[in-house]
Amino acid sequence: MSTDTVIRAPKRRLRDRIPVVHQLRQSVGLQRGMLIAGLVLTGIFVFVAIFAPLIAPYGFAQLRDAAGPFGSQQPPSAEHLFGTTVGGYDVLSRVLWGAQTAILVIIIAVTLSLFAGVLLGLVSGYFGGWLDRVLVVLCDAIYAFPSLLLAIVMAIVISGGQSNLWGGVFAAAISITVVFIPQYFRVIRAETVRIKAEAYVESAKVLGASNSRVMFRHVLRNSTRTLPLIFTLNSSEAILTLAGLGFLGFGIEPTAAAEWGYDLNKALSDVSSGIWWTALYPGLAIVLVVLGITLVGESLNDLADPRLRGRRRVAQASGEVAETSVVPGGTLVAGPGGLAGLEDGESFDEHGIGVRS
């Protein structure tokens, strides 16, 4: 048999390999519903953040237009769909612009903590020893602090509490970063310690690979599988922390950027006097965005685990008998049972069902 006749395993199609799209196609039932709901909410959030300058009727710091000042605490009307705040800003515009601030903070905070946490976790888990102990204790110490308190301290240290757009965004982002690094550190370290004992890492060591080659070629790529989950869950937490900082008055000046937490803070006194619109919309925005991102994260989490993943029921004893076994003493030329015996493309291991004995 010539090797030319070997049928190449079909490459998985592109749409099956893009992370979220693959999961979407894989999901069924309630899990699919959750994922779609999450994706829609997150999609709207990202869309609004990008196109806020076009969608928002006014600027985030705009107090007056051609017809004069907006007036403070105006109820919803045709000019101001969501009304105006006590400071005289348009609520709708502030909510839309707020998405932009939120997404900036998420991107900066998660990127910073991702890089720092992953690198520290990898080094710490791979080499172990005293460095590992020190880093673990340090991360435990950070865990022991209430994260919001830590964020406040960091906000004060970085920017003196109040500042302009970038100052405020970075203050919030870095303070969130500090809180998140231990999470990435922990996850990557645990994975690294596990993978370090895997046979393929030992086999690389036996071959004489250097530490950095083993770390980055063999360990790193295999230890990042859970990152998209933490990534999404942390994004929602980042929004909550940002909102919390703003609510407590450590946020961004209203003239520098729109920020939901700050608006909620200013709406506190309105609530008791029956002015509902100033608190409702920023609050709703926070809830929906957090809900959307969390739904995506949770569904990805469930879909990543074959035991939690739902599947369509199959008809009574249907399907083909898989050619998992091997013709004894079969040809050595190709695969088990010759070429015909090869499962095309995908194997059971990938899907984690337990039909092996």
Partner 1 sequence: MSTVVSIEGLGVSFATDAGAVKAVDGVSLKVERGEVLAIVGESGSGKTVTAKTILGLLPETATTSGAVLLSNKAGTSESDVVALSKKQLREVRGTDVAMVFQEPSTALNPVYTVGWQIIEGLRAHTSISQKDARAKAIEILGRVGIPDPEHRIDHYPHQFSGGQKQRIVIAMALVLDPGLIVADEPTTALDVTVQAEILDLLRRCRDEFGMGIVLITHNMGVVADLADRVAVMYQGKVVEEADAKTLFASPKAEYTKALLAAVPYVGTGTASAIERAAQRPADWVEQAPVVEASGLEIVYPGRFGRPGFQAVGGVDFVIRPGEVLGLVGESGSGKTTIGRAIAGLTKVTGGSLRVLGHEMNGVREREFRPLRSRIGFVFQDPASSFNPLLTIAECVAEPLVIHGRASNPAKARARVDELLEAVQLPKAYGDRYPHELSGGQRQRASLARALALEPELLIADEPTSALDVSVQARVLELFAELQREFGFASLFISHDLAVVDILADRIAVLYRGALVEEGTGAEVLGAPSDPYTQRLLASLPVPDPVAQAERREELRRLREAV
Is there binding between residue 273 and partner 1 (CB under 8 A)? Answer: no
Residue 310: is it exposed, middle or buried by C-beta count within 10 angstroms (0-12/13-18/19+)? middle
Q: Which helix or strand (DSSP H or E) is residue 203 part of?
A: helix 199-206
Q: Which stretch binds partner 1 (CB under 8 A): 35-43, 77-85, 243-251, 317-325?
A: 317-325
CB 278 within 8 A of CB 270: yes
Is there binding between residue 78 and partner 1 (CB under 8 A)? Answer: no
Q: Binding partner 1 by CB under 8 A: which of 206, 212, 272, 274?
A: 206
Q: How far apart are CA 84 and CA 102, in angstroms?
A: 21
Retrieve residue 314's tokens: 């199959």
Q: Which stretch binds partner 1 (CB under 8 A): 98-106, 156-164, 272-280, 315-323?
A: 315-323
Residue with tokens 């609520």: 91
Is there binding between residue 200 and partner 1 (CB under 8 A)? Answer: yes
The SS3 assignment for 64 reads strand
Binding residues for partner 1, how many (CB under 8 A)? 62
Is there binding between residue 216 and partner 1 (CB under 8 A)? Answer: no
What residues from 280 to 309 belong to the interface with partner 1 (CB under 8 A)?
309
Residue 69 DSSP symbol? E
Stretch 318-337: interaction string toward partner 1, x if CB under 8 A: xxxxxxxxxxxxx-xxxxx-
- How many CB atoms sit inside 10 A of residue 111's CB? 13
**Least distance between partner 1 and beta carbon 194 (Å):** 11
Is there binding between residue 208 and partner 1 (CB under 8 A)? Answer: yes
Retrieve residue 336's tokens: 């088990």
Q: How far apart are CA 326 and CA 339, in angstroms?
A: 11
Decide whether 284 or 308 has the Cβ nearer to partner 1: 308
Is there binding between residue 353 and partner 1 (CB under 8 A)? Answer: yes
Q: How far apart are CA 107 and CA 237, in angstroms?
A: 12
Is there binding between residue 314 and partner 1 (CB under 8 A)? Answer: yes
Q: What is the largest CA-CA distance in the chain?
A: 91
Q: How far apart are CA 258 and CA 237, in angstroms?
A: 19
**Least distance between partner 1 and beta carbon 82 (Å):** 45
Stretch 139-178: interaction string toward partner 1, x if CB under 8 A: ----------------------------------------
CB 56 within 8 A of CB 96: yes
Kindly list the residues in this chain that would bind partner 1 in the complex (CB under 8 A): 3, 6, 8-9, 26, 198-200, 202-210, 213, 217-218, 221-222, 309, 311-330, 332-336, 342-343, 345-351, 353-357
